[in-house]
Amino acid sequence: MSQEIERYLQAGTRANTRRSYQQALEHFEVTWGGFLPATSDTVVRYLVDHAATLSSNTLKLRLAALAQWHVSQGFPDPTKTPLVRQILKGIRTLHPRQEKQAEPLQLRQLEQCVLWLEQALEQARAEDDLPRLLRCCRDRALILIGFWRAFRSDELCRLQVEHIQVRTGEGMQLFLPWSKGDRDNQGQTFNAPALARLCPVQAYVDWISLAGIARGPVFRGIDRWGHLGEQGLHPNSVVPLMRAVLQAAGLPSELYSSHSLRRGFATWATRSGWDIKALMQYVGWSDGQSALRYVESTGVFPGQLSALQHISNWPEGLP
């Protein structure tokens, strides 16, 4: 395979997917001791050996990695045989397990986090503590944008100032050149509302004004002296950042992950009476199953909007 072809193949696969596939292949070859190219019988033995310890979603990811390797190398795909499909079905039947999901960050918990950040921000300003002032301001913007836009951690980390337009008193537009739901890499534009409280737009404006960011990544690392990094935050840093805020705000931080913002918004929207189509359109989901996985099912009562009586200016056409 030429270097040019390999370069475009790499560009056509998400970085997270490439890492996951590489880890899956290493597990198959190094940890388990399998050989590539593999046969269908070898794949079946691999599945059976891990049926009781790995979830069906993890096993499907391992199969996808094996399939991609064989196809890219010009070998027959051993994962597509009827025997492999039947074994996977049997594993799901004999080893049913509920997939772990992050706790959704509910609106009252979001408010608790923002209240703590604003108090810490004012204290840092009074004490002339620039590094802490910057971190609190950044974290408030990241959490509010992450919640109201239901963004993944990698999407938050890839936001660029030059791709964001603020309309004072109305909202903001955020453009992402690619995202997980944008299979063709055409780019997507997302709207976020200006709100009377817990406002993502004002939090963003406050952050870039304080940090003096005119272009490049919106969310960056901050060192002990208050210097901003040139690169955007790594997606893996969002979880410890969030958990530090949650813990400081008096919440059980270990229950939450970066998906908590996405699940929290989906749960709030459902309880507020949004139908699944409106939710999918707003978040960018292409199928209902993706949306339902993020919605907290217990206690969902449409029309509970009392907590947000003073929030206004939702994007036109949305609930």
- Same domain for 133 and 243: yes
Residue whose pair of structure tokens reads 């395979």 in the numeric block: 1
207/140 Cα distance (integer angstroms): 8
Average pLDDT over residues 52-62: 90
Q: Is residue 316 predicted with pLDDT exceeding 50?
A: no
Q: Is residue 291 predicted with pLDDT exceeding 60?
A: yes
- Same domain for 178 and 70: no
- Same domain for 123 and 255: yes
Write out pLDDT tens, residues 232-266: 999 989 999 999 999 999 999 888 988 899 999 99
Asked whether residue 281 is domain-assigned, the answer is: yes
Judged by average pLDDT, the poorest of 67-71, 240-244, 265-269, 306-310 is 306-310
Which residues span the domain enclosing 275?
A: 105-295
- Same domain for 86 and 112: no
Asked whether residue 304 is domain-assigned, the answer is: no
Higher pLDDT, 311 or 275: 275
Phi, psi of 100 (to 5 degrees): -65, 135
CATH number of 211's domain: 1.10.443.10
Contact 49, 9 (CB under 8 A): no
Amino acid at 194: A
From residue 70, how far is each of 14, 18, 44, 174 by CA, in Å?
18, 15, 16, 38
- Same domain for 237 and 141: yes
> Within 10 A of 82 (CB to CB), how many other CB atoms are there?
8
Helical axes 107-126 vs 130-148, angle rounded to 10°: 160
44/42 Cα distance (integer angstroms): 5
- Same domain for 191 and 137: yes
- Same domain for 75 and 115: no
18/14 Cα distance (integer angstroms): 6
- Long-range contacts of 100-103, Cβ-Cβ distance < 8 Å, separation of 24 or more: 101/259, 101/263, 101/293, 102/255, 102/256, 102/257, 102/258, 102/259, 102/260, 102/263, 103/255, 103/256, 103/260, 103/263
From residue 129, how far is each of 63, 203, 240, 241 by CA, in Å?
51, 19, 22, 19
Write out pLDDT tens, residues 136-175: 999 999 999 999 999 999 999 999 999 999 998 889 999 9
Asked whether residue 290 is domain-assigned, the answer is: yes
Higher pLDDT, 175 or 275: 175
Asked whether residue 312 is domain-assigned, the answer is: no
From residue 86, how far is each of 70, 76, 81, 83, 92 by CA, in Å?
20, 19, 9, 5, 10
- Same domain for 276 and 132: yes
Asked whether residue 220 is domain-assigned, the answer is: yes
Judged by average pLDDT, the poorest of 17-21, 87-91, 182-186, 228-232 is 182-186
Which are the contacts of 241, defined by CB distance < 8 A and separation ≥ 6?
A: 139, 142, 233
